[in-house]
Chains A and B, each alone.
Chain A
Amino acid sequence: MRIVVCVKEVLDPDAVNSFAVAGRLTIGEDGRSITQSAIPRLMNGFDEQALEAALRLRDAGASTTIAVVSIGMDPSNILRHAAALGADETAHVPADPATLDGHVTAAILAAWIRSTGPADLVLCGRQASDDDQGVVPALVGERLGMPVVTIARAVALAGSGGAVRVTRVTPDGDEVVEASLPAVVTVSSEIGTPRYPTAARKLQARRMKPVVTSPEALGLGARELAPKVRLLRQLVPAVHGHCELLAGAPAEAAKALVARLAQDGAI
């Protein structure tokens, strides 16, 4: 079976958060982009977990080829990482992120999947940690006419390989569902920590070059490549604290806190 994993390069969200928490996160003169050049770029964590789900299917005995595709300016680092982890093929569709919205991204991914051979399973991260939108997997599924199963903590093959069995993390607890293949599945962090590539595989991966295809070569026209949603500006919201600190020895501070909460009617 052929598994396609869709991956996005993002700014390290932990580093972004560290800057934000320190009050040092700033937006550049374009009004849109985060300026700190010290923030590393890496594979969106949920996408890496989607790739991990694909690798676990292979570990479980499924005969698979795993193709990893990314759209953007230069995702060569994350595609090399994907190759080192065990991707059989990597692909890059160059596009300026400023010209992409969920629809355009999904149109490119769907066209790429169609043109490179049928996919039995499309795995995506539940959302990207930069814009948090999480709409692309559903848009891809609709374009390809595939069912979309979201927020997986476990993915397994079922029905003699013709279906996928997914354990979903819902607010009401875990739900187990099955869908016939081909299908789109989004993977959540609950699947667990992704593996690390071995040194040997890292060396091998340096030889694997991503196949580059332009959106135009995929047969997409101006209409499909025109975003409906454009990022106008980005800002760092101010948090106005009004915290009353309760000082003293632990026992005193604890008593003072309980008294305040009781007075406020909070307990």
Chain B
Amino acid sequence: MHRSRINITIALAVMLLSATTGYAGDSPDDIRQRIGAGDPVAGKVKSLICQACHGEDGNPVTPDCPKLAGQYAAYIRKEIKDFQIGSRRDPMMTEIAARLTNEQDLLDIAAYFASQKQMTGDVRLFNEAGKRRFTVGNGCQTCHGVNGKGLAPNNSHAPVIGGQHKAYLVKQLKDFRSNARSNESTGIMGMIAAMMSDEQIDEVASYESGL
């Protein structure tokens, strides 16, 4: 009787403690979940045209194209679907998404990029303001996880952002702010971005890109 009470207390404490440490992201099981249902080996061949812009391993050298390395397959798939139906718009991606009508191809391509070593920043663009906005209270970390590496092994909603190209992050935040991008279904990204000035966007994107 007493023993089981202690066990329960310990179990609860452990759960609460681990809730604050966040999701680490690179265990084989995590990777498997991140990859989802597609076949990354088939995906490598199918994604040749994607690799032209997004890089062979999902790490493009120029910041105009976002890194896809280690991004959730489910998130990649969701964004492609959104480009297809027009709830997200980009002159290049809209056309490219239109070609990905085969569900298996889409799953495989997404799996390929998800299976790559997760994106990281080259340079630690540390700034105190950006870090505070990211980590403190209801900061970005709440949904995007510690170091922006994601909050759960499989997530179609809040993507990996830590280590993403800064210019891309800035553009997305500005697009959320101006509603040029509005495919985040809860509306929270729009609300968050609308409260940020150009300088604050720059600060937090700098910080995130270095993670």
Task: Please say whether chains A and B are actual partners in one complex.
Answer: no
